[in-house]
Amino acid sequence: MHRVTVAVDPPYDVVVGPGAAAELRAVVGPFRRVVVVSQARVLDEHRAALGDAFGREPWIVTIGDGEAAKSLSTVEALCGELARGGLLRGDLVVAFGGGVVGDTAGFAAAVYHRGVAVAQVPTTVLGQVDAAIGGKTAVNLAEGKNLVGAFHQPIAVIADTTILATLPDAEFRSGLGEVAKYAVMPEGDGVVELLRLHTDRVLARDPVVLADLVAACAAIKANVVAEDPEERIGAERGADGAGRASLNYGHTFAHALETTGAYSFAHGEAVAVGLIFAVNLARALERVGLDAVDRVHGVVAGLGLPVSVPGDADRAELLVTMRRDKKATGGLTFVLPGPSGLELVDDPPDRALDAAFAAVGA
């Protein structure tokens, strides 16, 4: 079992490993009232494990599936359920599911009674390596992804890697997009080495190797979050590096691709293409050489992830959506690699954008 501490105030642990769900009993024990927020399809697979972790039948509230469920209307309905069930400010919300559940339940916990405690129990690769860690919660608007949200750190993250065996192939592969992101970050050598040695066991969902991989990604995120808990460094132009915004490497293009495609493209796959876009944009700006492009392409392709957009993609629509990105300061803003690591770059020239769009077939 791995324990990765996220050194914010107060600190909390990300517990990773086969059978880690058993740790949930100690987390929920001190609370008077606990509600589990999940989805019907997740409960169909894991209700027994959830009951074992609680030692009793828990109070469960379900939300819908897919990015359409990450909405203000879902948050309103969920908070209504919490109020009718008597959840008070000193009680606990447990988010038991993938990124949609973690983001939506986390945001509801952030705003209900102006903030109640939340524990994250991610059941997807995406959730375990990234989304459940760091307290970023949000829901979508028609105009873009994750535009309404709050920072609300969990009291614990429990990542049971045996749960990943039940994921549909497409969902498992999608989560590897965030793994690819960590592998190609400057701090990602440990992730690259695990993939070099054990890609076949990762793809076979070996829970022990997955625990090593999830813990390695979680450690990178924990260090970045501790340095910049609320993404303030990235908001200050002229600061050294991108701070927590570095975790959005590949995400400006990815979020636009998801939004313009009505979420027909899975998040992790969009991130994979976004990484290809970003490194080619950096290459066109002479921030990195061809070796960096080849490295990112090799990691993404090696995990069986897409390296280009599916079908037709409307460049003009993508640009409009990217200008609404949370990092933007009135134009286009990207997290790009360079000689000093990952940095925020504003308004690259059209010739560089042309090269990046061409690289991903848009």
Is 62 part of any domain?
yes
Q: Which amino acid is at 281?
A: L
Which structural domain, as residue segments, surrounds residue 253? 230-362
CA distance 344 to 333: 7
Band of pLDDT at residue 237, cut at 50, 70 and 90: very low
Band of pLDDT at residue 110, cut at 50, 70 and 90: very high
Instruction: Please report, rounded to a whole number, the percentage of residues in the chain having pLDDT higher than 70.
Output: 96
Contacts for 310 with CB less than 8 Å, ≥ 6 apart: 261, 265
Looking at residue 48, what is its pLDDT? 80
User: Do 234 and 161 belong together in one domain?
Assistant: no
Is 182 part of any domain?
no
Contact 149, 136 (CB under 8 A): yes
How many domains in the chain?
Answer: 2
Is 187 part of any domain?
no
Which residues are catalytically annotated? Answer: 114, 136, 178, 221, 231, 244, 248, 251, 255, 267
Give Cα separations from 41 to 63, 75, 167, 299 (angstroms).
10, 19, 11, 31
Contact 151, 137 (CB under 8 A): yes
CA distance 316 to 303: 30
Q: Is the pLDDT of residue 87 over 80?
A: yes
Contact 112, 52 (CB under 8 A): no
Query: What CATH number corresponds to the domain at position 311?
Result: 1.20.1090.10
User: Do 291 and 157 belong together in one domain?
Assistant: no
Q: Is the pLDDT of residue 233 over 80?
A: no
CA distance 209 to 215: 10
Is 216 part of any domain?
no
Is 208 part of any domain?
no
User: Do 251 and 334 belong together in one domain?
Assistant: yes
The mean per-residue pLDDT over the stretch 254-280 comes to 88
pLDDT tens track for 113-151: 999 999 999 999 999 999 999 999 999 998 888 899 999
User: Do 140 and 259 belong together in one domain?
Assistant: no
Q: Which helix (H) or strand (E) holds 313?
A: none
Query: What CATH number corresponds to the domain at position 7?
Result: 3.40.50.1970
Is 317 part of any domain?
yes
Looking at residue 24, what is its pLDDT? 93
Q: Is the pLDDT of residue 325 over 80?
A: no
User: Do 155 and 235 belong together in one domain?
Assistant: no
The DSSP output letter for 333 is: E
Is 87 part of any domain?
yes
